[in-house]
Amino acid sequence: MEAVKYENGIRYILHGVYYLPDLSLPEQEYYNIGKHGMLRKAYLEKHRKALYINLLITCKLYEHLHEVDIIATRMVEQIIRAIAEADGTGEHLKATDQMRWAGLMNNYRHCAEELVLRDVVYK
């Protein structure tokens, strides 16, 4: 059994002959983080270090990354649908000219990704 003592609201654990503070983080819920969440994490680590450390210390980093990932993914899907509808790319084109339809949809996806990266991930 390990010896534990509390002093000034801090928990100390006996290691050998020394009492060391128990500095473990509380249990936190981990989320599945996709592409946009990982890009956001890399951006925060490199360019917004204070925000990254604050989110990490308050155990809100993974929740934040999960939210960013969900928002970004939904925005990409909405933008693709809006561009395809405005451009008239629909099921009729998919049935008649699949290669053109696939090329257009890839183009729409890349455009949507660029918008979302700029407005959500790297903000």
Write down the pLDDT at residue 37. Answer: 96
CA distance 16 to 23: 17
Express each pLDDT in 19-36 by its tens digit: 888 877 667 677 789 999
Which regions of the chain are under pLDDT 50?
A: none
Write down the pLDDT at residue 117. Answer: 97
61, 55 Cβ separation under 8 angstroms:
yes
The pTM (predicted TM-score) of the whole model is 0.76
Q: CA dihedral defined by 34, 40, 41, 47, rounded to 10 degrees?
A: 160
CA distance 33 to 62: 8
